[in-house]
Amino acid sequence: MAKLCLVSLGYATGKDQSPEKILSGMNAHSSYNNGLKHRKGYEDHARLDNHLSCCIEVTARVSAEQRRGCACARAAPAQSARRPPRAIMETSLLREFPLLLPQNLQKTVYEGFISAQGRDFSARCVMVHTVQLKNARLHCSWQLKAILSRYQHIIQQRMQHSPDLVSFMVELKMILEAALKNKQELHAPPPPQYYSGLLQELGTLGWDKLVYMESSFSTLKLKAKDTSGREHLITLRLKAKYPAEPPDCVVDFPVPFPVSWTPQSSLGSIHSQFLAALDSLKAFWDVMDEIDEKTWVLEPEKPTRSATARRIALGSNTSIYIEVDPRHPTMLPECSFLGADHVVKPLGIKLSKNIHLWDPGNTVLQNLKEVLEVDFPARAVLEQSDFTMDCGICYAYQLDGVIPNQVCDSPQCGQPFHQLCLYEWLRGLLTSRQSFNTIFGECPYCSKPITLKMSGRKP
């Protein structure tokens, strides 16, 4: 067999989801057997499975026997008593899935193809036990993974409850058939009016506003400028029933963008709603742009239009973290400081002492300068390395996108650390002690006492 490109789907555990709902589109015969399978025990199941495979063959032949009611039900119990369940399982697996073969002597790894609707999909099943599927893993090719992506929960659930591989594979095949059927319906091409209507709408809106159009005409991007001259994009995903159904809109906004839509609406109406939303956010972006232009923003490195928070450098190893309310951008934002106590404490005192000076008529940056009585280091004059230092434990600046946010409070030291690095370090020291979410220990640099408060939120 050729080397397969397999991608892990990771079906191992999952919450329950009603299988009836998803299986409803499948044929009655399968659903009937499925229902029986869930109710009965293993012995019964093995018999039933035999019966099921038998029935499938009979159905294919459309014999008179089948019309009278399958006779094999009576014969099956005797057969299952003669042969061990595993052998029965292997026989029916080979019959149902001739392209799926064991890869080791223990028969815990099966690899090959599952066929559905005339197509073969490569898959691999790795089991922990020889018969049971508990903790088994199913690896699928990327095509199969994409088709089954919406059915992960049910597959996980069936894997947990199937008594053996063959009954799971039968269910997986049914799910796959249903998924393929749904996919075809979803990808049915829209009627010709869809295209002519869309082109007409674009003509009315103005082709200059179109930035991108996908080859299938289902995704497009439009641009618009706010009154400060910033360019913004809106991505529209049109459904086949457009304009009866509203398109999905994706924007880079700090607030939700709900679109009001009627069947008479058009691209023009979305564009004007987009412009109105840009207008309402203009003040917010003015405030953020001033901060990004005139100060050293340490985080995020490349702020998006939806980012409401900034960590701004104040000096060596000192910074302020602000979170601006996009609806009230010139009001006092949420603030917290990062740095050694002897630097940060006076800033906190100034903030509370001068808070009455905050003027919502001015921008956040102007107000911060006024209230904190500081000048922010400007981007033009300084290098980032002038006021940022790597973590004293891992010697890196960024750790999983996080910058050092803990500082030794000793005025002579002031060494910054990542919260995680410091936590691991202090946990390893016998002299450290923990009280609730706070750890007391010694600075790895100057051995002076250091306190670490663990929190999920950025300090």
Stretch of 8-16, 139-147, 349-357, 398-406 contacting Zn ion, by CB under 5 A: 398-406
Decide whether 33 or 317 has the Cβ nearer to Zn ion.
317
Residue whose pair of structure tokens reads 């400081």 in the numeric block:
337
Binding residues for Zn ion, total number by CB under 5 A: 12
Stretch of 201-209, 252-260, 350-358, 437-445 contacting Zn ion, by CB under 5 A: 437-445
Q: How many helices (H) and strands (E) does the chain have?
A: 14, 18
Q: How far apart are alpha carbons 311 and 333 in whole angstroms?
A: 12
Q: According to the binding rule CB under 5 A, does residue 408 interact with Zn ion? A: yes
Please identify which residue in 89, 251, 421, 439 interacts with Zn ion, judged by CB under 5 A: 421
Q: According to the binding rule CB under 5 A, does residue 257 interact with Zn ion? A: no
Residue 271's φ and ψ, nearest 5 degrees, are -60, -40
Contact 417, 448 (CB under 8 A): no
Contact 23, 31 (CB under 8 A): yes
Q: According to the binding rule CB under 5 A, does residue 343 interact with Zn ion? A: no
Decide whether 202 or 408 has the Cβ nearer to Zn ion.
408
Q: According to the binding rule CB under 5 A, does residue 26 interact with Zn ion? A: no
Please identify which residue in 394, 398, 440, 442 interacts with Zn ion, judged by CB under 5 A: 394
Decide whether 281 or 344 has the Cβ nearer to Zn ion.
344
Q: How far apart are alpha carbons 363 and 331 in whole angstroms?
A: 9
Contact 21, 177 (CB under 8 A): no
Residues 40-69 that bind Zn ion (CB under 5 A): none
Q: Which residues pair with 113 in a beta bridge?
A: 122
Min separation Cβ 411 and Zn ion, Å: 10
Decide whether 295 or 406 has the Cβ nearer to Zn ion.
406
Q: Which among 77, 10, 12 has a CA at the least distance from the CA of 46? A: 77
Burial class of residue 144 (count of CB atoms within 10 Å of its CB; 0-12, 13-18, 19+): buried
Q: How far apart are alpha carbons 411 and 369 in whole angstroms?
A: 24
Please identify which residue in 410, 419, 425, 439 interacts with Zn ion, judged by CB under 5 A: 410
Q: According to the binding rule CB under 5 A, does residue 423 interact with Zn ion? A: no
Q: According to the binding rule CB under 5 A, does residue 443 interact with Zn ion? A: yes
Strand order, beta sheet including 449-453: 433-435, 438-442, 449-453
Please identify which residue in 179, 418, 439, 452 interacts with Zn ion, judged by CB under 5 A: 418
Decide whether 309 or 394 has the Cβ nearer to Zn ion.
394
Q: Which among 273, 299, 195, 285 has a CA at the least distance from the CA of 240? A: 195
Decide whether 314 or 421 has the Cβ nearer to Zn ion.
421
Provide the binding-site residues for Zn ion, judged by CB under 5 A.
Answer: 391, 393-394, 399, 408, 410, 413, 418, 421, 443, 445-446
